[in-house]
Amino acid sequence: MRSTASVLHLDLDAFFAAVEQRDKPSLRGKPVIVGGVGQRGVVSTASYEARAFGVRSAMPSHEARRKAPHAAFLGGRFDAYRQSSRIVMGLLHELSPLVEPLSIDEAFVDLEAGGHDCRDLDALRALGQKLRADLFERTEGLTASVGMGSSKFIAKVASEMAKPNGLVVVPPGSEVEVISPLSARAVPGVGPVTMEKLDRLGIRTVADLQRAEVQELSREVGRSWGPALHELAFARDDRPVGPHREAKSISVEDTFESDLTDRADLEAIASRDAAIVAGRLRASGQFARTITLKVRLGDFTTWTRSRTLNGATDSTERISQVARELLDALDVREGIRLLGVGVANFTQAAQEELFVLEGDDVVVTEERTTTEAPQQRRRGRGEWSPGSEVEHPEHGRGWVWGSGLGRVTVRFETRLTGVGPVRTFRTDDEALTRPDGPLPMAWDSASAEPGSPPAESGSPPAEPVEA
């Protein structure tokens, strides 16, 4: 265990929505919801203004519209999100060579590996404040919540406590006191299923976990997970910060130029992908217990279906068989634009299946989402997604406010202009074009070198909070 608060966790605040508010001045301070904009869509990110109405990530879009009918519903601009993410990750690499990205908007940093004096808590707080101020400047207005602690678990807890737009440093020696009142869901690895099992034992907080008997936990959640869960309840976490995370899955996906509806063709593709996945699995020296099929329809609705075997396999034939069976349960007549096969839940040893019967396996997940941005499709002229960027030779750069009935309404503004005017055009107006990408940013290494100071935007980082 570390004796210093040398692990940092950074989480960008409502990232997708915050980028949209930064780049669209008329939306600042207003509820913004990013995700699938259709009735079958799913919320990817909600701004804090939208969360005040009860909107949350993974909520169906139709439910979000009922809760926040006046919110701006946007399809998403992944080029812009990646641009800001590059800037943030580059900033973190200036702190330390050991940066472990968890997603596009979240990462751990090993401050000790960066040569920082982690024994001085005041120095750590000053470092955290400078990081957040630099991030605000370089991203031209985004904010982040930062936590520091003696382990990845504690640093993550600290950043949660800092939300939104704050800094929390947990002094070494106070970890158990800090985490005891928290929900047991705060412990890494405790999801809805484990929480349901713990609830049956009357365990709802970390303090309850601390008082539980290891044997009792092991009976309920498993012999290996029970003792580990008890250790984490006392903040005993020695996981290192690693820039290269161990692969948790192996998958292959195919995106088609035109939607496929022929089941025989799709089964052949699934079998081919299964062979590729099985080959990679054997090359890794592992066996898999879970096989997943991913299907994306023409409207960007995505189905993910997984099946867990009663053993583990690296067999091409078995993986292919399960993938085809999962495909059999889907109606392909609407047209398939993407098909993928994957494996997960790895083990180092083969576990022979005692019985291999059709339908004998257990389907553990069946997920339907539309979080992919609709404008990622090759859209023809006249198709405009809410929030997507447009350009006009007279009015300049703007974004789609809405479209329908052969018309598209555009607000002409960027993060550099302030609130701009609204104009309406025919959807097939030749003067409306799509920019090649987001506006360049001075600190984006993929587009430009650090340059002149960016324009002020949003609110500066808040004062630090002490745990």
Q: Which residues are catalytic?
A: 106
Q: Which helix or strand (DSSP H or E) is residue 353 part of?
A: none
Q: Which helix or strand (DSSP H or E) is residue 204 part of?
A: none
The two three-digit tokens of residue 216, written as one number: 């009792």
Looking at the DSSP bridge assignments, the partners of residue 365 are 306
| Identity of the residue numbered 318 | R
- Alpha carbons within 13 angstroms on the beta-carbon side of residue 166 total 14
Q: Is 449 strand, coil or helix?
A: coil
The pair phi, psi for residue 113, each rounded to 5°, is -65, -20
- E strand segments, 160-248: 167-169
CB 155 within 8 A of CB 186: no
CB 380 within 8 A of CB 336: no
The two three-digit tokens of residue 236, written as one number: 């005993």
Q: How far apart are CA 251 and CA 276, in angstroms?
A: 9
Q: How far apart are CA 252 and CA 33, in angstroms?
A: 31
| Identity of the residue numbered 161 | M
Q: How far apart are CA 439 and CA 442, in angstroms?
A: 10
Q: Which helix or strand (DSSP H or E) is residue 384 part of?
A: none
